[in-house]
Amino acid sequence: MAKSQLVSETMYLSRALTIFIAFTAVFAATMLPARAEGDTVRVGQSDSIAYSRVFAAILTEAGIDAEFVAAPHGRKRRMFMDGVIVMDCCASPIWRRAAGEVDLQVFSDAFYQSPEHYVFREGHVLEINKPEDLRALRVAKVRGFNYQNEPYFGETISVRDMEDVLDLLVAGRADVGMINGQDFRRRMRLQPRPLELGQTYFTADLRVRIRNNHVDLLPRINAAIATLKANGKIEEILSDSADTPAAPTRDGPITLKVGQSDSEGFEAAWRAILLEAGITPEFVDVPVERKRRLFAEGAIVLDCCAAPMWRMRAEEMAVQRWSDTFYLTREQFVFPEGRMKEIDQPEDLLALRVATIAGFDYQDRSFFGVEVPGRNMEEVLKLIAAGRADVGIISNVDFLSVSHKVPAKFVLGDVRVRAQQKVRVHQSVAYLLPRINAAITRLNQEGRLIELLEKQHAPEGGR
């Protein structure tokens, strides 16, 4: 065979093979089965507690089993682009236009119209009639957030989260910030500050963002949104009065079955709240996982102490209400002294053995290398001290109350998350919320909860 003929036939076969592979890929893609309803997808945890509840309700209504991933805002956007998470909430499309994002994302129908306001220190409200007025102001913003009219900002002060924005305004280190009205009112209830809302500068259509390789989920998400809007569930979740029942307050003494505190560090505070509220507890002391099931079934009707982001199973969200926040914990990694490891991102946990408590929900759990289960916080520290686990996760309250019981020395990592500790109330006794909230207010005004939670004395020779 001539060399030219051999080359010609080789090129022909190569082209034919290329066409066949391309056709096969297209055909296979069109024949892929629809995603099963039970499939688990990894989604971003919302930056807002209220919107986290909306997002969870949408996913539940859509029949989507979701694994929530919590991360700082900027990192979460990178995780979406990298495909580590495939869905995120809750944002307006105009806030997600970074290089590379637009081509990767599709958005659901809008589920809520969120009024975005300027926010100022009390007595220092300014009239901002046009974007150019911002050039003369110091503007506090959250890193990773996109803002309307950002090119017009004068001096820009970038901080970690919305709490830092509000603190800058109170301290007079910034002139203006931006916040949605619902989030502002919630934060002011939790921590009153000398702040005022200014005018609305933008109304955002909040939506669910889906990576385009999961676009098959979009019809289910949109149908769920339509159902939840039609039955008023989204408005109920986001309403300022959602946590305040309309039922009349009952003032007399009452005896109820309640859950024993999840940890020893909170036990005294939990008993103090019940006593102040005039509630006689019949404590049910069972492992955390079983206690969560008993609450969902209504076998216990009060429980403490947890943050809403840790109690987001569908069966729990259907029946639970939350008290006001009574304390803000600092959740931290804990290591044996001399063996602290750098954990800058969730992926750093893949190589580590993590001591956990059965029934607890943990952020970034999917990144834990190996879970080493313990029964309680004291056992978590013992597992670490014995070298059976590399790291654990503990609150400042539990560390104070438990660490001196373990004959070893420990070191705490950076604050991983700040968690709003609340009392969980079953909807069957929602009328007790005003009593519980009033008790929390009185105890905090007198400084008694701080005394019980932060000034626990470790014996001599402790940590």
Top pLDDT among 291 and 182 is at 291
The whole-angstrom separation of Cα 180 and Cα 356 is 36
Q: What is the pLDDT of residue 437?
A: 93
- 7 is a domain residue: no
- pLDDT tens digits, one per residue of 402-459: 888 888 889 898 888 888 999 999 988 888 999 999 999 999 998 889 888 887 544 3
Residues with Cβ within 8 Å of residue 92, at least 6 apart in sequence: 114, 204, 205, 206, 207
Shared domain for 305 and 161, answered yes or no, is no
Look at residue 27 and tell me if it is in a domain.
no
User: What average pLDDT does the structure give for the chain?
Assistant: 82
CATH of the domain at 217: 3.40.190.10
- Which residue pairs, CB below 8 angstroms and at least 24 apart, start in 96-102? 96/146, 96/209, 97/146, 98/146, 101/77
In DSSP notation, 312-341 reads --HHHHTTEEE----EEEEEEEEEETT---
The helix (run of H) or strand (run of E) holding residue 156 is strand 155-159
428 neighbors 300 (Cβ within 8 angstroms): no
Residue 2, pLDDT score: 45
Q: What whole-number distance in Å separates Cα of residue 111 and Cα of residue 236?
A: 13
Judge if 438 and 365 occupy the same domain: yes
Q: Are residues 377 and 280 both part of a single domain?
A: yes
Q: What's the average model confidence in pLDDT over 336-359? A: 88
Provide the pLDDT for residue 39.
65
All residues at 6 or more sequence positions from 407 whose CB lies less than 8 Å from its CB, including other chains: 385
As to burial, measured by CB atoms within 10 angstroms (0-12 exposed, 13-18 middle, 19+ buried), residue 80 is buried
Q: Is residue 447 part of a domain?
A: yes
In a domain, 416, yes or no: yes
56 with 174, same domain? no
pLDDT tens for 94-142 read 888 888 888 999 999 999 988 889 999 999 999 998 999 999 999 999 8
* pLDDT of amino acid 416: 83
- pLDDT cut 70: percent of the chain above it: 85
Q: Residue 16 falls within a domain, yes or no?
A: no
pTM score of the predicted model:
0.45
Is pLDDT at 352 greater than 90 in this prediction?
A: yes
Residue 179 has a pLDDT of 92
Please indicate, yes or no, if residue 244 is contained in any of the structural domains: no
**Are 262 and 356 contained in the same domain?**
yes
- On whether residue 19 sits in a domain, the answer given is no
The vertex-409 CA angle with 407 and 413, nearest 5°, equals 140
> pLDDT tens across 222-257, in order?
999 999 999 988 888 877 433 433 333 345 678 888
Domain total of the chain: 3
Residues 215 and 352 in one domain: no
Q: How confident is the model at residue 47 (pLDDT cuts 50, 70, 90)?
A: low
Same domain assignment for residues 173 and 315: no
What tokens appear for 199 in the block?
Answer: 């005018």
State the average pLDDT over residues 202-223.
93
**Residues 190, 43, 394: CA angle, nearest 5 degrees:** 50
Q: Are residues 232 and 279 located together in one domain of the fold?
A: no
Q: What is the domain range of residue 76? A: 40-111+207-238
Q: 193, 215, 238: which is the final residue of a domain?
A: 238
Q: Residues 248-294: pLDDT tens digits?
A: 334 567 888 899 887 878 888 999 999 999 898 888 888 888 888 88
- pLDDT, residue 163, reads 80
Domain check: are 360 and 296 in the same one?
yes
Decide if 24 is inside a domain.
no
331 and 271: one domain? yes
Q: Distance (Å, rounded) from C-alpha 222 to C-alpha 138?
A: 40
Shared domain check, 339 and 446: yes
The more confident residue out of 25 and 344 is 344
Decide: helix, strand or coil at residue 140.
strand
